[in-house]
Chains A and B, each alone.
Chain A
Amino acid sequence: MAEFKTNPEILQPENLVYKRTNLLTEKALSYCPGCGHGTAHRIIMEVIEEMGIQSETIGVAPVGCSVLAYEFMNIDIQQAAHGRAPAVATAIKRLFPEKFVFTYQGDGDLAAIGTAETIHACNRGENMTIFFINNGIYGMTGGQMAPTTLPGMKSSTSPYGRDIQTMGNPLKMTELVATLPGTIYVTRQAVHTPSAVRKAKRAVRKAFENQKLNKGLSFVEIVSNCNSGWKMNPLQSNEWMVENMFPFYPIGDIKVNEEK
């Protein structure tokens, strides 16, 4: 293998334009190149760093591609059984009400096997944050249909496209939880462009800051790509996402700190 040598000139502090946050460990991310999970991890960790709450934050990782989030997020973190992260986080928050508690979950985890835990944590108004990475597919297990898979969209278990007659409709979990009195802030974001990332990061920050208000659960969906599961290259997948996912899952706030 060829040896790469970095030009020492470039390493000068004055040339520094971007740095990995200390809240990401040095472990190489296990995600496919181009996957949105890595960016989502980064902005969440940056917000925790900027808020200076590392020692007060407890995360809960799901089962899905981001099962190893605990390897990358340099915070105290628990890995929950498939779909159960909101229940795990509920107990943590109840037992440590003054800490910042969040879950990080995929669409299979949150909107299929964990539907009950999600809805009930939202409905109880647990004073925590749920990050929901919606890539419309089961990435981890090799691209099977998810509850969020679009009508007509192909997956390994809907090889001819999702037929809503026999396979049911895609589930808009975010709109659903917005109807519950226990949620205080519900928003849908994306991380496919720098400006989208900046907006998503503001949403992440708001969601964490909301925990200080003690007024309910903040729910942040991030519509993301799964280039591997969608069988596209990263660029194509982002384009496909903009063209197909965004019309069905429109980006923007759905519910913002309503007075209760």
Chain B
Amino acid sequence: MTEEIIIAGFGGQGVLSMGKILAYSGVMQNKEVSWMPSYGPEMRGGTANVTVIISDERISSPILHEYDTAIILNQQSLDKFEHSVKTGGLLIYDPNGITRLPERTDINIYSIEAAEMAGKLGLSRVFNMIVLGGFLKLKPIVDMEYIHKGLEKSLPARHHVMIPENEKAIETGKTLITPVLVLS
């Protein structure tokens, strides 16, 4: 198994930390992982993205130009990465972040109303965990027990009280993910 993922959105949406939790969970499940962020002024106020690879084998390149999965949280990122999804791959988006729907017809497309749900729950900080839940529902590449360990490892100790809340958000995300286009 090798899963090559791009997560992209605005800085502040928790893009990098979602990637880090996923990657750390992979580490805990004894998988090979890499986490390659965009960095520098590119990130200031603008878009942030991170490439996460989780694999059973040694990872060759941490920098990719096409992906199995793209998790898209704003319009700029959709414009930038829609065409980098491999044929037959997966694109997940939050409709609240975009103004134009994806156009590809050769990939699987799902939407997730994560921002809306986070707003409803009054927990904007778990927005990214809702999205992660949606992804894990479709591609359960790491088990929930390791996600728990990943959360423990990637959150500073003083935030450990928030782990149950994060796990709940992941479960919520699993129920929210909605097919838009599913290839047969």
A–B contact with Cβ pairs below 8 Å: the answer is no
Listed in ascending order, the chain B residues whose CB lies under 8 Å from chain A are none
